[in-house]
Amino acid sequence: MMKLGWIGTGVMGAAMVTNLMAAGYEMTVYNRTKSKTDALVAAGATWADTPAKVAANSDVVFTMVGFPKDVEQVYFGDDGIFSGLAKGKTAIDMTTSQPKLAAKIADYAAKHGMQALDAPVSGGDIGAKNATLTVMVGGDEATYQAMLPLFEVMGHKVNHFGAAGTGQHAKMANQIMIAGTMTGLTEMLLYTKAAGLDPEKVLATLSSGGADNWSMDNYVPRILKDDYTPGFFSRHFLKDLRIALSEADSMGLDLVATAQAKRLYEVMVDVKGLGDQGTQGLINIY
Protein backbone atom coordinates (compact mmCIF):
# COMPACT_ATOMS: atom_id res chain seq x y z
CA MET A 1 0.00 0.00 0.00
CA MET A 2 1.03 3.59 -0.56
CA LYS A 3 2.84 5.35 2.28
CA LEU A 4 0.89 8.46 3.23
CA GLY A 5 1.79 11.74 4.88
CA TRP A 6 -0.52 14.31 6.44
CA ILE A 7 0.20 17.93 7.36
CA GLY A 8 -2.45 19.69 9.45
CA THR A 9 -4.17 17.54 12.06
CA GLY A 10 -6.89 19.88 13.26
CA VAL A 11 -10.56 19.15 13.96
CA MET A 12 -11.18 17.53 10.58
CA GLY A 13 -7.68 16.46 9.58
CA ALA A 14 -7.15 14.22 12.60
CA ALA A 15 -10.40 12.35 11.90
CA MET A 16 -9.48 11.88 8.23
CA VAL A 17 -6.05 10.54 9.20
CA THR A 18 -7.71 8.14 11.62
CA ASN A 19 -9.93 6.77 8.85
CA LEU A 20 -6.97 6.28 6.49
CA MET A 21 -4.99 4.49 9.20
CA ALA A 22 -8.00 2.29 9.96
CA ALA A 23 -7.97 1.32 6.27
CA GLY A 24 -4.42 0.04 6.73
CA TYR A 25 -2.31 2.90 5.39
CA GLU A 26 1.03 3.74 6.97
CA MET A 27 0.99 7.41 8.01
CA THR A 28 3.54 10.12 8.77
CA VAL A 29 2.16 13.30 10.36
CA TYR A 30 3.15 16.88 11.08
CA ASN A 31 1.33 19.76 12.74
CA ARG A 32 2.60 23.13 13.91
CA THR A 33 1.29 22.29 17.38
CA LYS A 34 2.86 18.89 17.92
CA SER A 35 0.49 17.89 20.73
CA LYS A 36 -2.37 17.75 18.21
CA THR A 37 -0.70 14.67 16.70
CA ASP A 38 -0.20 12.84 20.02
CA ALA A 39 -3.30 10.64 19.73
CA LEU A 40 -2.43 9.75 16.12
CA VAL A 41 1.16 8.83 17.03
CA ALA A 42 -0.17 6.73 19.92
CA ALA A 43 -2.39 4.95 17.37
CA GLY A 44 0.58 4.14 15.12
CA ALA A 45 1.38 7.21 13.04
CA THR A 46 4.98 8.43 12.72
CA TRP A 47 5.85 12.01 13.68
CA ALA A 48 8.09 14.08 11.41
CA ASP A 49 9.30 17.50 12.51
CA THR A 50 9.02 19.31 9.15
CA PRO A 51 6.72 19.15 6.11
CA ALA A 52 9.78 18.26 4.01
CA LYS A 53 10.41 15.16 6.14
CA VAL A 54 6.77 14.13 5.86
CA ALA A 55 7.03 14.45 2.07
CA ALA A 56 10.31 12.54 1.92
CA ASN A 57 8.69 9.62 3.76
CA SER A 58 5.51 9.54 1.66
CA ASP A 59 4.20 8.42 -1.71
CA VAL A 60 1.26 10.76 -1.25
CA VAL A 61 1.25 13.76 1.09
CA PHE A 62 -1.97 15.52 2.10
CA THR A 63 -2.27 19.03 3.45
CA MET A 64 -5.16 20.54 5.40
CA VAL A 65 -4.14 23.80 7.00
CA GLY A 66 -5.88 27.07 7.79
CA PHE A 67 -5.29 29.83 5.27
CA PRO A 68 -3.78 30.31 1.79
CA LYS A 69 -0.64 31.82 3.37
CA ASP A 70 -0.24 28.59 5.35
CA VAL A 71 -0.62 26.52 2.18
CA GLU A 72 2.00 28.65 0.43
CA GLN A 73 4.42 28.23 3.33
CA VAL A 74 3.86 24.49 3.67
CA TYR A 75 4.58 23.87 -0.02
CA PHE A 76 7.16 26.48 -0.98
CA GLY A 77 8.76 27.55 2.31
CA ASP A 78 12.01 26.40 3.87
CA ASP A 79 11.59 22.73 4.80
CA GLY A 80 8.37 22.74 2.76
CA ILE A 81 6.85 19.83 0.88
CA PHE A 82 8.56 20.60 -2.42
CA SER A 83 11.97 20.41 -0.79
CA GLY A 84 11.28 16.81 0.26
CA LEU A 85 8.85 15.28 -2.25
CA ALA A 86 10.48 12.95 -4.77
CA LYS A 87 9.74 12.78 -8.48
CA GLY A 88 6.72 10.63 -9.27
CA LYS A 89 5.08 11.33 -5.91
CA THR A 90 1.80 13.19 -5.30
CA ALA A 91 0.70 16.12 -3.16
CA ILE A 92 -2.99 16.72 -2.40
CA ASP A 93 -4.14 19.96 -0.81
CA MET A 94 -7.45 19.55 0.99
CA THR A 95 -7.41 23.05 2.45
CA THR A 96 -10.10 25.38 1.18
CA SER A 97 -7.84 27.86 -0.59
CA GLN A 98 -7.45 30.08 -3.63
CA PRO A 99 -7.90 28.51 -7.09
CA LYS A 100 -4.87 30.42 -8.39
CA LEU A 101 -2.70 28.96 -5.61
CA ALA A 102 -3.89 25.46 -6.48
CA ALA A 103 -2.86 26.11 -10.08
CA LYS A 104 0.54 27.41 -8.93
CA ILE A 105 1.16 24.27 -6.86
CA ALA A 106 0.11 21.97 -9.71
CA ASP A 107 2.26 23.85 -12.21
CA TYR A 108 5.35 23.61 -9.98
CA ALA A 109 4.71 19.92 -9.36
CA ALA A 110 4.34 19.15 -13.07
CA LYS A 111 7.55 21.00 -13.94
CA HIS A 112 9.46 18.94 -11.37
CA GLY A 113 8.09 15.50 -12.20
CA MET A 114 5.49 15.34 -9.43
CA GLN A 115 1.70 15.38 -9.34
CA ALA A 116 -0.64 17.68 -7.40
CA LEU A 117 -4.38 17.85 -6.84
CA ASP A 118 -6.62 20.35 -5.05
CA ALA A 119 -9.32 18.48 -3.14
CA PRO A 120 -11.25 20.61 -0.62
CA VAL A 121 -14.07 18.92 1.26
CA SER A 122 -17.47 19.65 2.76
CA GLY A 123 -19.14 17.93 5.68
CA GLY A 124 -17.49 19.38 8.78
CA ASP A 125 -16.27 17.44 11.79
CA ILE A 126 -19.17 14.99 11.56
CA GLY A 127 -18.43 14.14 7.94
CA ALA A 128 -14.73 13.77 8.70
CA LYS A 129 -15.38 11.38 11.60
CA ASN A 130 -17.97 9.33 9.73
CA ALA A 131 -16.07 9.30 6.40
CA THR A 132 -19.05 10.89 4.68
CA LEU A 133 -17.31 13.98 3.31
CA THR A 134 -17.98 15.43 -0.11
CA VAL A 135 -14.66 15.78 -1.96
CA MET A 136 -14.23 18.28 -4.80
CA VAL A 137 -11.14 17.61 -6.90
CA GLY A 138 -9.19 19.61 -9.46
CA GLY A 139 -6.12 18.50 -11.39
CA ASP A 140 -4.86 15.86 -13.78
CA GLU A 141 -7.45 13.18 -14.61
CA ALA A 142 -5.03 10.24 -14.41
CA THR A 143 -3.75 11.40 -11.02
CA TYR A 144 -7.32 11.78 -9.81
CA GLN A 145 -8.15 8.22 -10.84
CA ALA A 146 -5.03 6.91 -9.08
CA MET A 147 -5.95 8.75 -5.87
CA LEU A 148 -9.66 7.94 -5.95
CA PRO A 149 -9.36 4.94 -3.57
CA LEU A 150 -7.88 7.27 -0.94
CA PHE A 151 -10.65 9.83 -1.37
CA GLU A 152 -13.24 7.08 -1.05
CA VAL A 153 -11.87 6.14 2.37
CA MET A 154 -12.63 9.68 3.57
CA GLY A 155 -15.80 10.57 1.70
CA HIS A 156 -18.96 9.17 0.17
CA LYS A 157 -19.22 11.62 -2.72
CA VAL A 158 -16.14 12.40 -4.83
CA ASN A 159 -16.22 14.47 -8.01
CA HIS A 160 -13.49 15.60 -10.38
CA PHE A 161 -14.17 19.02 -11.93
CA GLY A 162 -11.28 19.51 -14.31
CA ALA A 163 -7.94 21.30 -14.31
CA ALA A 164 -6.05 22.48 -11.23
CA GLY A 165 -8.07 24.99 -9.24
CA THR A 166 -11.50 23.70 -10.26
CA GLY A 167 -11.86 21.77 -7.03
CA GLN A 168 -11.41 25.06 -5.19
CA HIS A 169 -13.97 26.76 -7.43
CA ALA A 170 -16.47 23.99 -6.62
CA LYS A 171 -15.80 24.53 -2.91
CA MET A 172 -16.46 28.24 -3.34
CA ALA A 173 -19.87 27.37 -4.83
CA ASN A 174 -20.45 25.17 -1.78
CA GLN A 175 -19.53 27.98 0.63
CA ILE A 176 -21.77 30.46 -1.18
CA MET A 177 -24.68 28.07 -0.65
CA ILE A 178 -23.79 27.53 3.02
CA ALA A 179 -23.60 31.29 3.60
CA GLY A 180 -27.31 31.43 2.83
CA THR A 181 -28.22 28.44 4.98
CA MET A 182 -26.28 29.77 8.00
CA THR A 183 -27.96 33.18 7.92
CA GLY A 184 -31.30 31.49 7.26
CA LEU A 185 -31.11 29.07 10.17
CA THR A 186 -29.92 31.84 12.51
CA GLU A 187 -32.79 34.16 11.67
CA MET A 188 -35.25 31.26 11.70
CA LEU A 189 -34.29 30.58 15.33
CA LEU A 190 -34.65 34.25 16.26
CA TYR A 191 -38.10 34.36 14.68
CA THR A 192 -39.06 31.10 16.40
CA LYS A 193 -38.10 32.52 19.80
CA ALA A 194 -39.86 35.84 19.23
CA ALA A 195 -43.05 34.04 18.17
CA GLY A 196 -43.00 31.87 21.29
CA LEU A 197 -42.70 28.58 19.41
CA ASP A 198 -41.04 25.41 20.69
CA PRO A 199 -37.69 25.35 18.80
CA GLU A 200 -37.39 21.56 19.01
CA LYS A 201 -40.81 21.17 17.42
CA VAL A 202 -39.97 23.76 14.76
CA LEU A 203 -36.74 21.91 13.93
CA ALA A 204 -38.56 18.57 13.65
CA THR A 205 -41.15 20.17 11.37
CA LEU A 206 -38.73 22.02 9.09
CA SER A 207 -36.48 18.97 8.81
CA SER A 208 -39.33 17.07 7.16
CA GLY A 209 -40.20 19.77 4.64
CA GLY A 210 -38.84 22.02 1.96
CA ALA A 211 -36.68 24.01 4.40
CA ASP A 212 -34.54 21.00 5.30
CA ASN A 213 -30.80 21.40 4.88
CA TRP A 214 -27.57 19.92 6.28
CA SER A 215 -26.58 23.01 8.28
CA MET A 216 -29.91 23.21 10.03
CA ASP A 217 -29.98 19.50 10.85
CA ASN A 218 -26.47 19.52 12.29
CA TYR A 219 -26.07 22.98 13.83
CA VAL A 220 -29.48 23.89 15.26
CA PRO A 221 -29.33 21.04 17.83
CA ARG A 222 -25.94 22.41 18.94
CA ILE A 223 -27.27 25.95 19.24
CA LEU A 224 -30.19 24.74 21.35
CA LYS A 225 -27.62 23.25 23.76
CA ASP A 226 -25.51 26.43 23.71
CA ASP A 227 -22.78 24.37 22.05
CA TYR A 228 -20.57 26.56 19.89
CA THR A 229 -17.60 24.21 19.61
CA PRO A 230 -16.28 24.25 16.06
CA GLY A 231 -17.23 21.63 13.58
CA PHE A 232 -15.81 24.30 11.30
CA PHE A 233 -14.18 27.46 12.64
CA SER A 234 -16.00 30.69 11.86
CA ARG A 235 -12.66 32.39 11.11
CA HIS A 236 -12.03 29.80 8.41
CA PHE A 237 -15.52 30.29 6.99
CA LEU A 238 -14.93 34.03 6.80
CA LYS A 239 -11.70 33.33 4.91
CA ASP A 240 -13.68 31.18 2.47
CA LEU A 241 -16.30 33.86 1.90
CA ARG A 242 -13.59 36.42 1.20
CA ILE A 243 -12.03 34.10 -1.38
CA ALA A 244 -15.42 33.38 -2.97
CA LEU A 245 -16.28 37.07 -3.27
CA SER A 246 -12.85 37.90 -4.67
CA GLU A 247 -13.28 35.20 -7.31
CA ALA A 248 -16.82 36.39 -8.04
CA ASP A 249 -15.56 39.96 -8.45
CA SER A 250 -12.99 38.79 -10.99
CA MET A 251 -15.84 37.18 -12.95
CA GLY A 252 -17.93 40.35 -12.86
CA LEU A 253 -20.47 38.91 -10.41
CA ASP A 254 -22.17 40.87 -7.63
CA LEU A 255 -23.20 38.29 -5.01
CA VAL A 256 -25.26 40.54 -2.74
CA ALA A 257 -26.47 37.93 -0.24
CA THR A 258 -23.02 36.35 0.10
CA ALA A 259 -21.50 39.78 0.68
CA GLN A 260 -24.01 40.37 3.48
CA ALA A 261 -23.13 37.00 5.05
CA LYS A 262 -19.46 37.99 4.90
CA ARG A 263 -20.22 41.25 6.71
CA LEU A 264 -22.04 39.35 9.46
CA TYR A 265 -19.15 36.93 9.91
CA GLU A 266 -16.76 39.89 9.96
CA VAL A 267 -18.70 41.23 12.94
CA MET A 268 -18.50 37.82 14.61
CA VAL A 269 -14.81 37.23 13.93
CA ASP A 270 -13.15 40.64 13.61
CA VAL A 271 -15.32 42.74 15.92
CA LYS A 272 -16.62 40.32 18.56
CA GLY A 273 -13.55 38.06 18.58
CA LEU A 274 -15.56 34.84 18.21
CA GLY A 275 -13.48 33.34 15.40
CA ASP A 276 -12.76 30.13 17.32
CA GLN A 277 -16.45 29.34 17.65
CA GLY A 278 -18.12 27.15 15.08
CA THR A 279 -20.08 28.77 12.28
CA GLN A 280 -23.26 28.23 14.31
CA GLY A 281 -21.96 30.93 16.69
CA LEU A 282 -23.28 33.52 14.25
CA ILE A 283 -26.39 33.72 16.42
CA ASN A 284 -24.29 35.27 19.19
CA ILE A 285 -23.93 38.59 17.34
CA TYR A 286 -27.66 39.19 16.97
The overall average pLDDT reported for the chain is 97
Per-residue model confidence (pLDDT) at position 1: 87
Contacts of 253 (CB under 8 A, 6+ apart): none
Point out the residues that are catalytic: 171
**pLDDT tens digits, one per residue of 68-88:** 999 999 999 999 999 999 999
For 270-281, what is each residue's pLDDT tens digit?
999 999 999 999
pLDDT of residue 86: 97
pLDDT tens profile 116-163: 999 999 999 999 999 999 999 999 999 999 999 999 999 999 999 999
> Is residue 243 scored above 90 in pLDDT?
yes
Q: Is the pLDDT of residue 11 over 90?
A: no
> What would the mean pLDDT of 61-68 be, rounded to a whole number?
97
Give CA–CA dist 220/150, Å, rounded.
32
Which percentage of the chain shows pLDDT scores above 70?
100
Residue 85 is given by DSSP the state P
Query: pLDDT tens digit string along 198-228?
Result: 999 999 999 999 999 999 999 999 999 999 9
- What value does the mean pLDDT take over residues 81-100? 98
